[in-house]
Amino acid sequence: MSEFQRRARRPARPMLYLAPAIALLSIFFLGPIIVNAVIAFTDMGANLRVGTFTLINFERIVQRDARIPMVLMTTLVYVTATLFLFNVGLGALLAITSTAIPNRLGNFFRGLWLLPRMSPAVLYGILWIWIADPTPSGMLNQVTGLFDLPAVNLRNDYPLLLVILANGIVGASFAMVILTSSIRSIPSHLANAARVDGASEWGVLRHVVVPALSQPIRFITIYQALSLMTTYEYILLITGGGPVYDSTPYALYIYRRAFENGAYAYGAALALGLMAIGVAFTLIQWRLTNMRSTFAAPKIEVL
């Protein structure tokens, strides 16, 4: 056998197949992390110049920034309420109810609920600005006016509630789609067997449907929690994080400090803190919910 034939039969190295993915990961993920970490240890300001390397940004986070505790509390309330009330709770309710009705009607309902997620964020933000408009032309005040109730100014009086509602309603569609697929993947003979044994529809839901949703809900919880901690476009569009910092979560606080105040190095240091929070949250969730079993290969039983 010639040398050429031996090389032709030799399997290609796995690194050759992984090289494009590694290159993209290095350029668009690892590269920005390294640049951000370097900037965090500098005094870069609005002039984009680096004068010296220092730890002052981290000292400022721990000792001198009086807004950090309020921002962290706002983030905790915002993420917790949006996640459990809407992204998981409402999403599961929508999935269960839309699969309990005829398929065509359920598909139509899910399609309508997905429209905000498929539409531009600006359009969705403008819709909520109109809903919460404090003038009589706002949708909410038009409704309260019909019942002779006083006008409501959500953007000034209850900004955090407004951003929770706005993000929660659009975020529930993610769980709705995933849990709908999970419900439809349940073998029909399990529910039929439960009914033959005398189980009511509530019993079928409790003992057949809900157990099948536990693992997808674990994934949704982790994914949506990390998403809520790092995204802020709807909040920026609807309330701008105000009044003052009343509806500013941690991710938006980074943006405001870096791009509105020109403190780029301080914003980079805050971003490293957000990264640490995200990693810690993921590890805790992994430990508490045993995510290894969630992503384990499915077991197929042959009878």
- pLDDT tens, position by position, 207-227: 888 888 888 998 898 889 989
> Which residues have C-beta within 8 Å of that of residue 141, sequence separation ≥ 6?
133, 134, 135, 151, 152
Q: What is the pLDDT of residue 2?
A: 57
Q: Does position 295 have pLDDT exceeding 60, yes or no?
A: no
Residue 172 has phi, psi (to 5 degrees) of: -65, -20
Tally of CB atoms within 10 A around 287: 9
Sequence-separated (6 or more) residues with CB below 8 Å from residue 280: none
- 91: pLDDT strictly greater than 70: yes
Torsion sign over Cα 204, 207, 212, 216: positive
Given pLDDT bands bounded at 50, 70 and 90, which one contains residue 159? Answer: very high
User: Residue 204 has which token pair?
Assistant: 């079928």
User: What is the reported pLDDT for 105?
Assistant: 92
How far is it, in rounded angstroms, from Cα 56 to Cα 52? 11
Q: Across residues 135-147, what is the average pLDDT? A: 88
Closest CA to 235 of 135, 159, 132, 154: 159
For residue 62, is pLDDT > 60?
A: yes
Least confident among 135-139, 197-201, 205-209: 197-201
Instruction: Say whether pLDDT at 142 is over 80.
Output: yes
Cα 99 vs. chain centroid, distance in angstroms? 24
Do you find a cis peptide bond into 243, omega within 30 degrees of 0? Answer: yes
Name all domains of the chain by residue range, CATH numbers in brackets: 80-247 (1.10.3720.10)
Residue 186 is predicted with a pLDDT of 84
pLDDT > 90: percent of the chain: 39
DSSP secondary structure of 14-52: HHHHHHHHHHHHIIIIIHHHHHHHHHHTB---TT-----
What pLDDT is stored for residue 48 in this prediction? 84
pLDDT of residue 242: 87
Higher pLDDT, 116 or 294: 116
Q: What is the pTM of this model?
A: 0.84
Q: How far apart are CA 54 and CA 43, in angstroms?
A: 7
Average pLDDT taken over every residue of the chain:
85
Query: So what's the pLDDT on residue 6?
Result: 57
Q: Is the pLDDT of residue 303 over 70?
A: no
Q: What is the mean pLDDT of residues 240-268?
A: 91
pLDDT for res 21: 87
Quote the pLDDT of residue 10: 58
**What confidence tier does 3 reach under pLDDT thresholds 50, 70, 90?**
low
Lowest-confidence pick of 75-79, 235-239, 294-298:
294-298
What is the reported pLDDT for 5? 56
Q: How far apart are CA 144 and CA 159, in angstroms?
A: 18
Mean pLDDT of 6-20: 69
